[in-house]
């Protein structure tokens, strides 16, 4: 069961993803000219965004790892590695950022440690998506190499997380030059400001280029055929918008800074939503298949009416409900007349077909909700009739007997047709009565019908069970 994520994309799913992508590109178009416009500062906003990215990236990595464990699709493990890398990188960036947890940052952060972790975070994600696309064809899942593939797949998740941790060590041990340079002496909304911002933020340009390359590779190799392809492209576009706005404005609390942070949350969040949606869909499918299995296990394989196990369970429940609600419950025992003689004359295959036809005729006479037909054993059937009094049960049993006779199945017995005998018993919720007592009463009525000449109905009141 491949599931939703690596299943073929429908037209509706493609439309939703396209709308999301266009909305993000439109937001970039509208925000870019005002990227350096100052807005009121909200100090906790960056920490909130970073914690959101860490949480959603961790969840995405976990869910993708779980999907890899179930499907052995190596690309899912590689994507899990991309999000594991993001989770570790953003956590380190938040811890190192000056003023969040400590004046100069934690973990021995140097002046530009947090900025470099931002660069590694935003550059590493599209780079690892490119790795995932290359792994799509390089690591198939042959049955004979399952164990080996599983080990390599977990490495695709663990290694990027370890690399992110090592990069964190690097930026705290080596005093690197600042990755970004502020633009001075430029009017914020002028064209020269944009040109200067782009020229002085080479790291931002490299990150944008990586995102574009990753988008192109997904389009080239996947061609948006899978649901996964659609939403990975959407996540990459969100990452591209984030990087582009940061390249235009590195100052905090500007239009570009705020919008970029929103899109940094969207990049892992969109795939988490799809993965949770997939889990919900799989649970729903599992519940439906379980219900189908339960229904199938309750049916008699030969006659397709309910089997003895279902009768034993449901009849006792129906009896308890009738007792508590002081409503009548009727039981009709039906037996095919001279069935052994029929089997001896025509063979077991014809005998099986005969039983199936009889069961269908009996089921066709039931109209009341809650009533059902079950194969009690051999050529014997039961009709369970909740909220049905003795007179109504006898009438229905006679209708069932006539329905079988009208099938016109030839029989070697006297009369020339296959017929049935039926015995009815009705419980009026007598406290001392029991399900077994009602069965015995219906069975006694059935034998009375047989002794009276067969092809007829007899009724008997439900006896009280002995204490």
Nearest one of 335, 333, 347, 341 to 414, comparing CA atoms: 341
Q: What is the mean pLDDT of the chain?
A: 87
Decide which of 261, 293, 325 is a domain's last residue. Answer: 293
Q: Are residues 288 and 326 in the same domain?
A: no
Q: Are residues 285 and 320 in the same domain?
A: no
Q: Is residue 299 one of the residues assigned to a domain?
A: no
Spatial CB neighbours of 28, under 8 Å, sequence gap ≥ 6: 241, 244, 245
Decide which of 248, 265, 293 is a domain's last residue. Answer: 293
Rg of the chain on CA atoms, in Å: 37
Tell me the pLDDT tens digit for each residue of 53-80.
999 999 999 999 988 888 888 889 999 9
Q: Is residue 451 one of the residues assigned to a domain?
A: yes
Q: Are residues 272 and 349 in the same domain?
A: no
Q: Are residues 378 and 323 in the same domain?
A: yes
Q: Is residue 466 one of the residues assigned to a domain?
A: no
Please say whether the beta carbons of 379 and 303 come within 8 A: no
What local confidence, expressed as pLDDT, does residue 191 receive?
Answer: 46
Chain-centroid distance, C-alpha 106:
41
What local confidence, expressed as pLDDT, does residue 110 receive?
Answer: 92
Mean pLDDT of the 161-176 span: 94
Please say whether the beta carbons of 87 and 54 come within 8 A: yes
Decide which of 266, 293, 320 is a domain's last residue. Answer: 293
What local confidence, expressed as pLDDT, does residue 283 receive?
Answer: 82
Q: Are residues 249 and 323 in the same domain?
A: no
Q: Is the dihedral of CA 237, 243, 246, 248 positive or negative?
A: negative
Q: pLDDT band at residue 181, thresholds of 50, 70 and 90?
A: low
Helix (H) or strand (E) holding 66: helix 44-71
Q: Are residues 378 and 262 in the same domain?
A: no
Give catalytic status of residue 405 as yes or no.
Answer: no
Q: Is residue 1 one of the residues assigned to a domain?
A: no
Buried b (16+ CB within 10 A) or exposed e, 261-289: bbbbbbbbbbbbebbeebbeeeeeeeeee
Q: Is residue 114 one of the residues assigned to a domain?
A: yes
Looking at the structure of the chain, the number of domains it has is 2
State pTM to two decimals. Answer: 0.69
Q: Are residues 27 and 93 in the same domain?
A: yes
pLDDT higher than 80, residue 187? no
Please say whether the beta carbons of 401 and 381 come within 8 A: no
| Domain span holding position 325 | 308-461
Please say whether the beta carbons of 27 and 240 come within 8 A: no
Tell me the pLDDT tens digit for each residue of 20-42.
999 999 999 999 999 889 999 99
Residue 443's CATH number: 3.30.70.270
Please say whether the beta carbons of 84 and 268 come within 8 A: no
Q: Are residues 94 and 166 in the same domain?
A: yes
β-pair type (372-377, 457-461) = unpaired
Tell me the pLDDT tens digit for each residue of 254-294.
999 999 999 999 889 888 988 888 888 878 888 888 888 88
Q: Are residues 355 and 423 in the same domain?
A: yes
Tell me the pLDDT tens digit for each residue of 216-236.
999 988 888 888 899 999 999
Q: Which of 133, 147, 182, 379 is catalytic?
A: 379
Q: How many helices (H) and strands (E) does the chain have?
A: 14, 5
């Amino acid at each position: 069961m491949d599931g939703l994520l690596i299943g073929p994309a429908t037209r509706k799913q493609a439309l939703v993803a396209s709308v999301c992508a266009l909305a993000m590109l439109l937001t970039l178009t509208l925000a870019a000219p005002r990227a350096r416009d100052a807005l009121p500062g909200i100090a906790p906003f960056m920490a909130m965004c970073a914690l959101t990215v860490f949480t959603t990236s961790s969840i995405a990595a976990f869910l993708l790892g779980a999907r890899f464990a179930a499907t052995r699709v190596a690309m899912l493990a590689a994507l899990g590695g991309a999000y594991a890398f993001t989770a570790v990188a953003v956590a380190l960036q938040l811890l190192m950022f000056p003023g969040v947890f400590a004046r100069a940052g934690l973990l021995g952060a140097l002046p530009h440690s947090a900025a470099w972790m931002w660069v590694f975070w935003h550059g590493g994600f599209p780079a690892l998506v490119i790795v995932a696309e290359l792994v799509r064809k390089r690591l198939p899942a042959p049955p004979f190499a399952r164990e080996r593939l599983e080990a390599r797949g977990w490495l695709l998740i663990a290694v990027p997380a370890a690399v992110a941790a090592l990069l964190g060590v690097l930026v705290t041990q080596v005093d690197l030059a600042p990755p970004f340079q502020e633009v001075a002496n430029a009017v914020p909304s002028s064209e020269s400001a944009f040109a200067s911002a782009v020229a002085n933020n080479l790291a931002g340009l490299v990150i944008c280029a990586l995102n574009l390359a990753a988008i192109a590779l997904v389009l080239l190799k996947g061609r948006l055929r899978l649901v996964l392809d659609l939403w990975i492209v959407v996540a990459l576009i969100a990452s591209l918008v984030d990087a582009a706005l940061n390249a235009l404005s590195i100052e905090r609390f500007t239009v570009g800074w705020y919008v970029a942070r929103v899109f940094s949350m969207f990049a892992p969040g969109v795939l988490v939503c799809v993965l949770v949606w997939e889990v919900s869909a799989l649970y729903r499918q599992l519940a439906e298949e379980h219900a189908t299995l339960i229904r199938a296990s309750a049916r008699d394989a030969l006659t397709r009416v309910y089997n003895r196990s279902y009768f034993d369970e449901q009849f006792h429940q129906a009896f308890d409900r009738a007792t508590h609600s002081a409503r009548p419950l009727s039981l009709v025992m039906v037996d095919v007349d001279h069935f052994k003689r029929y089997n001896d004359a025509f063979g077991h295959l014809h005998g099986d077909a005969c039983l199936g036809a009889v069961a269908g005729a009996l089921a066709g006479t039931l109209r009341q909700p809650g009533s059902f037909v079950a194969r009690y054993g051999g050529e014997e059937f039961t009709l369970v009739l909740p909220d049905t009094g003795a007179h109504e049960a006898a009438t229905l049993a006679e209708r069932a007997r006539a329905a079988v006779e009208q099938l016109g199945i030839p029989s070697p017995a006297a009369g020339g047709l296959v017929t049935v005998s039926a015995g009815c018993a009705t419980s009026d919720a007598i406290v001392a009565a029991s399900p077994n007592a009602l069965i015995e009463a219906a069975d006694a009525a059935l034998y009375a019908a047989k002794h009276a000449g067969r092809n007829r109905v007899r009724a008997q009141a439900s006896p009280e069970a002995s204490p």
